[in-house]
Amino acid sequence: MSEGKKVVIVESPAKARTISRILGPEYYVTASMGHVRDLPERTLGVDIKNGFIPIYQETKKKVIQELKAAAKGASHIYLASDPDREGEAIAWHVKEALQKSTKAAFSRVVFHEITKSAVNNAFQHPADINMDVVDSQQARRILDRLVGYKVSEILWSKIERGISAGRVQSVALRIVCEKEREVLAFQPQEYWNLSVNLEVEPQGSGKKYQARLFQIDGKKADIKTGEESNKALESIRGGHDLKIANNEIKPKKRYAPPPFITSTLQQAAGPALRFSASHTMRVAQGLYEGVDLGSSGPAGLITYMRTDSFTIAKEAQEACRAYITSSIGAEYLPDTPNFYKNAGRAQEAHEAIRPTDVNRTPKDLEPFLSPDQLKLYTLIWKRFVASQMRPAEQKLTTVDTAVAGADSRIFTFRTTATETVFQGFLKIYDFLDRDKDDKTADDADEDEFMPTASLSELVKDQKVLLLDAKSDQKFTEPPPRYSESMLIKALEANGIGRPSTYATIVNTIQQRKYVDKLKGKLIPTELGFKVNDFLVANLGDLFQIGFTAEMELKLDKIEEGEVQWQKMLEEFYGSFSGWVGEAKTIGAPEKDKAEKIVHLFDGVQTWKAPEKKGRRTYDDKKFAESVKSQFDKNGGISERQWSALIRMSAQYKDQIPDLDSKLSELGASQPAEGAAAGGSIGPDGQPVPPEDMGKYKEVMELLAAVKPDEPGAGRGGRKFDDKKFILSIKSQVDGGRNLSPKQINAVKKLTAKYKDQIPNFEDISVKLSLNEPAAGADGKTEAPSNVNVEEIQKILTSLSTVTAWEQPVKKGFRTFNDKSFFQSLEKQFNAKRNLSAKQVAALNKMAGKYIKEQN
């Protein structure tokens, strides 16, 4: 089949057909169908102790057999996979799988477009596999496996089986969740827009235009209520001396956008074509690998679609300029070619996404392309041609009209209009308005005020007539949710992911059911919030946006030969293993308590018969022995195991002497009747009533939506982070785990602290009994005062007006500071809605002292 021939190995059959036609019968072109080796599915597959060596398995045995057969008698093997990290890794894996089966030499050939000139040039300059690029891909794969494998294991035990985390996907989920919380916390604010219909004197001139209120007495108009609006309208309608206050005309140039890179193609195809990121890349892949053009055969129509470089080959740029001159007009061609600056670490050797032949217009290719291929090719073709055209020349006219109101206020109304004097690149590229994913309310309002007369004709001090004045009630709108396009833009802006991974990241969080797409917007599911909140609360350092971006930069440095891949992984794993170790022990008992609980069942002789539920068999004896064995080996047990053993103890009460006292020693108590059968069990071993779980779940949802204070230092220099604490408690409640008295007190304090950000605070206040005495750390209620809440509030309000406090007095080792003491009581009351009897007595004494003095 390939005896004595030169064998070329690419990824896909479509790419193989196109290249085969270019190279001719001297070459045998075949496909690897993607990766031929990978890490194992069901095990970690990384030898951490011996330098993070990956343990690869063949994933396509049949394909490898076919490749070996082709390679056996070959004279030379060319590895022509894609020009990126994954492509370089595929080439290396193929060579590793085949080199023992052939004596042929291996060469790496790289091209960024599948055209005759590009392919022939690549084969004239074969090279070796770039091991720095391979090492970078291996490091990324191992990083992703370590994070995914070990963190998913924790999620299984803490939330539910079968869910997963990912090094980059979880950061994308975090970005979506944080945006959703901004939306949920948003409080609409009322405002009013005032507009007028005007006509240039004399009446009947026909020179009419509309304008919107811009300023009142030289300051920005800000009308918040209907009452203010009505007063302003009354003043305007009764006003006088209406005239043009200013007419400013400014020339403006609108420059052509650069040709597409991966991220901008996905961002544009979303709103313009209604393509998802993954669909955009599938269609682009087909255009790159080759489309059958009838008698001409298959041809690659665009350059490689995974790129972050705006670079354009000189030949392609010259061909585009020639096309503009001959087909659009010489006046649209700039004197010198347009060049666009790349981002800091863009791959300069790569090109932007462009047509391989600019003379193949969308109209010419229409008979050969599917509808989606035609849409995407048209977008790419027009963007490329536009990128080499002259800027559009526009004229921006701004007209201000002043009205002297009846109440002596000066109202200034503004109208703007943009007139295109020279189309420039806009003649060919008409997708710009659709490149923007979201139009704000203010943008939408602008459309209502398009002028009906030529504004440039209006002259300063020209008199005008008021035809009509009206007001519209508006409400500020929440920040827009992410679409796929805008999430990709956010990922790129934060340095997360790379061109080859954007679509996969966005697709993965949807496939995992962490995010739903509704009307084009990404909204976290309940499961998505649960997973995100747990990860942020317990593995926040790992899933920080900045940390993830830093890891991407390190992968780039490996590719550039600046960093050794195993050293980078070793440094990462040092921190990572510590984070994971801490996360695994969340809620777990201390070692001495764990030891006592695992030995609680030592005297049990008669065990319940194993019970089968679905595919699983529940065996108390095996479970108790398994947990004990784990403790003997590791010196600890998990929170779930702790709760399960406490719950199970009720079933063997008759065989465990003094169960109540033993559980009491552990800080737990015997579960109530029926608790062993299921339900939510907290650290105290008590089942949580369903209604209480629902109450705290509602409260934590509201607290998760607030904008918390920045972390600050508390007593003893300890740093308090409200956001982290809220997410941690929310994760605990979402997992059905009870709250301790201390945690309940803390939740009540935070609810009171952020009451201004909680829409239904009064209802929540009743549910949490915020006006009732708070429990102490031991769960017991502090002795309440006999004074009601309103009376305490009255005293505090009076004292808040004191301006002259006595200087602090030192007595022995203590310093008595009235002002600080008052502030402490005020803060406690605002948080707990309660003071002790002693505190109220001290407050009354202070009030008698200062309020009498002030009076």
**Dihedral sign from CA coordinates of 35, 40, 44, 49:** negative
State phi, psi for 183 to the nearest 5 degrees.
Answer: -65, -45
Q: What is the pLDDT of residue 825?
A: 80
Q: Is 550 helix (H, G, I), strand (E, B) or coil?
A: helix
Mean pLDDT of 547-559: 95
Structure tokens at 527: 């499961």
pLDDT at residue 675 greater than cutoff 70: no
Q: Which residue stretches of 735-817 are H helix?
A: 741-753, 761-767, 789-799
User: Residue 750 domain-assigned?
Assistant: no
Decide if 28 contacts 4 (C-beta within 8 A). Answer: no
Smallest CA-to-CA distance from 533 within 725, 690, 680 is with 725
List the end-to-end C-alpha distance of the chain, in Å, as a whole number.
Answer: 108
Query: How sure is the predictor about 676, in pLDDT bands with cuts at 50, 70 and 90?
Result: very low
Q: What is the dihedral of CA 347, 352, 355, 357, to 10 degrees?
A: -60
Highest mean pLDDT among 426-440, 614-628, 683-697: 614-628
Largest CA distance in the chain: 110
Q: What is the mean pLDDT of residues 251-256?
A: 95
Distance (Å, whole) CA 78 – CA 107: 5
At which of 660, 677, 694 does a domain end? 677
pLDDT of residue 140: 97
Q: Do 170 and 62 sit in the same domain of this protein?
A: no
Q: Is residue 709 part of a domain?
A: no
> Which range is most confident: 435-439, 605-609, 770-774?
605-609
Q: What is the CATH number of the domain that holds 549?
A: 1.10.460.10
Q: Contact 199/464 with Cβ under 8 angstroms?
A: yes
d(CA 265, CA 2): 40
- Check whether residue 434 and residue 449 sit in a common domain: yes
pLDDT in tens, 319-369: 999 999 999 999 999 999 999 998 765 555 689 999 999 999 999 999 999
Q: What is the mean pLDDT of residues 441-452?
A: 44
Give the helix ranges, DSSP H, for 294-417: 314-323, 362-365, 371-387
User: Which residue in the list 28, 288, 304, 850 is annotated as catalytic?
Assistant: 304
Q: Which residue has the tokens 């015997």?
A: 670
Indicate whether 49 and 88 sit together in one domain: yes
At 31-50, the pLDDT tens digits run 999 999 999 998 999 999 99
The CATH number covering residue 74 comes to 3.40.50.140
Considering the domain boundaries, does residue 700 fall inside one?
no
- Asked which of 584, 613, 640 is the last residue of a domain, the reply is 584
Same domain, 604 and 670: yes
Tell me which range, 206-210, 362-366, 834-838, is most confidently predicted by mean pLDDT: 362-366
Q: Do 274 and 369 sit in the same domain of this protein?
A: yes
Q: Are residues 433 and 449 in the same domain?
A: yes
696 classed as catalytic = no
For residues 745 and 320, the model is more confident at: 320
Residue 673, pLDDT above cutoff 80: no
- Residue 345 has a pLDDT of 58
Q: Which of 102, 167, 291, 184 is nearest to 550 (CA)?
A: 167
> For residue 223, is pLDDT > 60?
yes
* CB-based contacts of 133, cutoff 8 Å, min separation 6: 85, 88, 89, 559
Together in a domain, 462 and 537: no
**Side-chain half-sphere exposure of 371, counting CA atoms within 13 A:** 3
pLDDT at 204: 84
Residue 614 structural domain: 591-677
User: Does residue 341 lie within any of the structural domains?
Assistant: yes
Whether the predicted pLDDT of 757 surpasses 70: yes
Highest mean pLDDT among 196-205, 505-514, 663-672: 505-514
Q: What are 522-539's pLDDT values in tens digits? A: 999 999 999 999 999 999
Of 404-418, 437-451, 694-708, 785-799, the one with minimum mean pLDDT is 437-451
Q: Are residues 13 and 112 in the same domain?
A: yes
User: 767-781 pLDDT, tens per residue?
Assistant: 777 755 444 444 444
Of the ranges 69-83, 432-446, 645-659, 711-725, which is most confident? 69-83
C-alpha closest to that of 260 among 389, 382, 383:
383
CATH number, domain containing residue 378: 1.10.290.10
200 and 172 within one domain: no
Q: Same structural domain for residues 270 and 382?
A: yes
Work out the mean pLDDT of the chain and round it to a whole number: 87
Q: Write the burial class of residue 107 (CB in 10 Å: 0-12 exposed, 13-18 middle, 19+ buried).
A: buried
Q: Is the dihedral of CA 183, 185, 186, 190 positive or negative?
A: positive
Cα–Cα distance, 102 to 189 (Å, whole number) = 73
Ramachandran region of residue 775, left (φ > 0), alpha (ψ -120 to 50) or beta?
beta
Structure confidence at residue 833 as a pLDDT band (50, 70, 90): low
Residue 803 has pLDDT above 90, yes or no: no
The reported pLDDT for the residue numbered 442 is: 46
The answer to the question of residue 152 being in a domain is no
> Do 122 and 178 fall into the same domain?
no
User: Is residue 762 one of the residues assigned to a domain?
Assistant: no
Q: How far apart are CA 278 and CA 1, in angstroms?
A: 37
Structure tokens, 260: 């597409």
- Name the least confident of 282-291, 447-456, 520-529: 447-456
With respect to residue 757, please indicate whether it lies within any of the assigned structural domains: no
**Which of 475, 498, 527 is at the close of a domain?**
475
pLDDT category at 835 given cuts 50, 70, 90 is confident
Q: Find out whether 528 and 515 touch, Cβ atoms under 8 Å.
A: yes
Does the pTM exceed 0.85? Answer: no
Query: Using an 8 Å Cβ cutoff, are 531 and 173 in contact?
Result: yes
Question: Does residue 446 carry a pLDDT above 60?
Answer: no
In the chain, pLDDT over 90 holds for what percent of residues? 62
Burial tier of 812 (Cβ tally within 10 Å: 0-12, 13-18, 19+): exposed
Structural domain count, the chain: 6
Q: Are residues 224 and 273 in the same domain?
A: no
Q: What CATH number has the domain bearing residue 459?
A: 2.70.20.10
Confirm whether 696 is domain-assigned.
no
Dihedral angle of Cα 704, 709, 714, 718, to the nearest 10 degrees? 60
Q: Residue 348: its pLDDT value, please? A: 53
